[in-house]
Amino acid sequence: MKVLLSGNEAIARGAYEAGVRVAAAYPGTPSTEILETIVQYKDINAEWSVNEKVALEVALGAAIAGVRAMACMKHVGVNVAADPLMTASYTGITAGLVIVTADDPDMHSSQNEQDNRHYARFAKVPMLEPADSQEAKDFVKLAFEISERFDTPVFIRTTTRISHAKSIVEFAEPEHRELPHTIKPQFEKYVMLPRNARLRHPQVEERLKKLAAFADEFDRNELILQETDIGIIASGTCYQYAREAFPTKSFLKIAMAYPLPIKKIKYFAGLVDRLYVFEELDPFYEEQIKAMGIAVTGKDVFPVCGEFSPITAQNGIVGSRTHKPDVPSLPALPPRPPNMCPGCPHRGVFYILKQMKVFVSGDIGCYTLGGLPPLNAMHTCICMGASVSGALGIDKALGPNGLGKAVAVIGDSTFLHSGITGLLDIAYNKGTCTVIILDNRTTAMTGRQEHPGTGFTLQGQPTKQLNLPSLCAALGIDHVRVVNPYNLAEVAAALREEIERPEPSVIISQAPCVLHRREYNPPGTPFTVNASACIGCMACLQLGCPALVWHPAEKSGTASINSALCTGCTLCAQICKKEAIQAEA
């Protein structure tokens, strides 16, 4: 059967065909769809974990227990999971363990563009890099074979243009694998006390040598010998770009990003006149190839930052194309950035924060858009959970002078991922911070995934639901209150009271995401502007709601509401001093 699959869907299919029994992940673009696809395979025990560290530990535990297991995450998720990763490299596995890292060159939906190939070298584990969806599926199976043959976790690295690109995949039958009946202790292998870890480390070094030898035999590290004036070493989507730009030249297509096939590279270098390494982000291959004593051109002609395309290969190797189309210049085009949805429960909170002129220690989620105009009410965004602990740092830096000047804002899923420990630190270390948890009842930005606060699992089964106010109280926060974000006066009053209080507090802004299928009930009646009452003060436009439209006139102008977009959330009506905005009759 031939179907079109994204790289993520293909990885899920590969896991099924490889007989994976446990798969764990925290949602993160561009990796999210792997688990969303895996859920259809009922033999796989799949879960949304609370964060990537937990996901990797769950998968490692399953692999120690003797079933094939997989953990999936975006590139920055590996930072969170780095602690178990580094030692899982020492312990190895009983049955196969594969970790998928989905990198995001150009930061389409990320806070940095770190190159996670470094993690393979750092943790001394092998990494495979597929170049299309067929390979994404096939490499999952190969990764499990390598994992079990060499007693090691194995990385599969994708980038956005593999994860989210669709290409043709042929299915195979799933492998049947015997399941373990029990688990036996292996003290020296799995208890990383110093005495045992000292025994494991030399085995890791030995394993790396064997893997390097294997890389040279591995036929997916493929030589494509054609014209030899130019030879290009590339992997993943970069291979596709370069092959398209230079279809008649010679290639060494790298499938195993780490360790590199040294003999194959030396052989290839000896065959071609000019050798290039074409890799997005860091000179990861280039530095290793140069350390082999081979002359190669890489980052001298190709950029380090951003995403590549066939044009990048063209420009770096033969220079930019001479003919530019002779076309008239365009007028300046108004940008169309992503925006919070009409009726979004976050909008009112950011409107009030802007009015209060407080410094907002921010976090990762849809609500990061609250930093964009016209709301402009987020002043840091670093990583999952940094809003909460960062606010304590601000508190400590400013001392009593800072009281009432800064707040932390974090989403519900992000709080559960990495905010809990920060809040505990605030309570423990006598902070006075106010933390706003924007509880929209889902992991919204990645497409509305379940988490412990929603009361449902990845499979949509009801489960134990976390009680957020009780959790905050248990961490030591005495002042916890829940507000309705659609009531601006209530939000403003709660914020004023809590930020002036010289004690830590939590405000839970609770209302479901407008895209929440289970919980969101639209108020129903769109609002409308009475043009004769509108004085053109533009106050309502400061909400940045896509449903509000400005109609300039000679001196001033009037606002109107696009009834097709308006959810009837009432925020603009609450702001309008002339009561010009009312529910449609």
| Choices 251-259, 284-292, 416-424, 546-554; region in contact with another protein by CB under 8 A | 546-554
241 binds another protein (CB under 8 A): yes
Q: Is 309 in the site for another protein (CB under 8 A)?
A: yes
Of 327 and 489, nearer to another protein (C-beta) is 327
Per CB under 8 A, 325 contacts another protein: yes
Is residue 328 close enough to count as binding another protein by CB under 8 A? yes
* Alpha-helical segments (H) within 360-509: 386-398, 412-414, 420-428, 468-475, 488-500
Q: Which is nearer to another protein, 68 or 161 (CB)?
A: 161
- 335 lines the binding site for another protein (CB under 8 A): yes
Q: Is 204 left (phi over 0), alpha (psi -120 to 50) or beta?
A: alpha
- Closest distance of CB 335 from another protein, Å: 7
DSSP 558-572: EEEE-TTT-----HH
The residue (of 321 and 577) whose beta carbon lies closer to another protein is: 321
Least distance (Å) from another protein to the CB of residue 165?
Answer: 4
- d(C-alpha 59, C-alpha 84), whole Å: 11
Distance, CA of 249 to CA of 267 (rounded, Å): 16
Please identify which residue in 254, 444, 507, 534 interacts with another protein, judged by CB under 8 A.
444
Residue from 447, 493, 519, 584 touching another protein (CB under 8 A): that is 447
Segment interacting with another protein, rule: CB under 8 A, options 137-145, 281-289, 337-345, 454-462: 337-345
What's the gap between Cα 81 and its chain centre? 13
Residues in the interface with another protein (CB under 8 A) total 58
**How near is the Cβ of 45 to another protein at its closest, in Å?**
26
Using CB under 8 A as the binding rule, whether residue 1 contacts another protein is answered as no
Nearest to 127 by CA among 23, 33, 235: 235
Query: Of the candidates 175, 155, 68, 65, which has an alpha carbon nearest to the alpha carbon of residue 115?
Result: 155
Residue located via tokens 């790396």: 208
Amino acid at 97: L
Is residue 583 involved in binding another protein (CB under 8 A)?
no
DSSP string, 235-270: EHHHHHHHHHH-TTEEEEEESEEES--HHHHHHHHH
By beta-carbon proximity to another protein, the closer residue of 341 and 573 is 341
For residues 143 to 162, the per-residue mask of contacts with another protein, x marking binding by CB under 8 A and - elsewhere, is -----------------xx-
* Residue among 293, 319, 337, 460 that touches another protein (CB under 8 A): 337
Q: Taking CB under 8 A as the rule, does residue 338 contact another protein?
A: yes
29 touching another protein, by CB under 8 A: yes
Rank residues 202 and 325 by Cβ distance to another protein and give the closer one: 325
Please select the residue that binds another protein; options are 95, 369, 391, 475, rule is CB under 8 A.
369
Are 360 and 353 in contact by the 8 Å Cβ rule? The answer is yes
30: contact with another protein by CB under 8 A: yes
Q: How far is the CB of 322 from another protein (least distance, A)?
A: 12
Tokens read off for 80 = 């969170």
Type of residue numbered 290? K
Does 550 sit near another protein (CB under 8 A)? yes
Using CA atoms in the order 464, 470, 474, 477, what is the torsion angle rounded to 10 degrees? 150
Q: How far is CA 70 from CA 73, 101, 325, in A?
A: 10, 11, 48
Helix (H/G/I), strand (E/B), else coil: 67: coil
443 binds another protein (CB under 8 A): no
Using the rule CB under 8 A, which residue among 331, 399, 460, 462 binds another protein? 331
HSE at residue 245, side-chain half, CA atoms within 13 A, is 26
* Between 206 and 244, CB nearer to another protein: 244
Written as one letter, the residue type at 86 is M
Looking at the Cβ atoms of 120 and 165, the one nearer to another protein is: 165
Token code pair at residue 181: 């009946």
Backbone angles phi, psi at 439, to 5 degrees: -95, 90
Least separation in angstroms between CB 239 and another protein:
8
Under the binding rule (CB under 8 A), the answer on residue 555 touching another protein is no
Tokens 């002036």 belong to residue: 500
Specify the stretch interacting with another protein by CB under 8 A; choose among 59-67, 178-186, 237-245, 267-275. Answer: 237-245
> Which residue's entry shows tokens 């890292």?
101
Question: Three-class SS of residue 554?
Answer: coil
- The SS3 of residue 349 is helix
Q: Compose the 80-109 pattern: x for residues touching another protein by CB under 8 A, - for all others.
A: ----------------------------xx
Look-up of token digits 């060499």: 150
CA angle 227/233/236 to nearest 5° reads 120
Sign, Cα dihedral of 5, 7, 10, 12: negative
Residue from 340, 388, 426, 480 binding another protein (CB under 8 A):
340
Binding stretches for another protein (CB under 8 A): 2-4, 29-30, 108-109, 132, 160-161, 164-168, 237, 240-241, 243-245, 247, 309-311, 314, 321, 325, 327-328, 330-341, 366, 369, 374, 444-447, 538, 541, 544, 546, 548-550, 552, 557
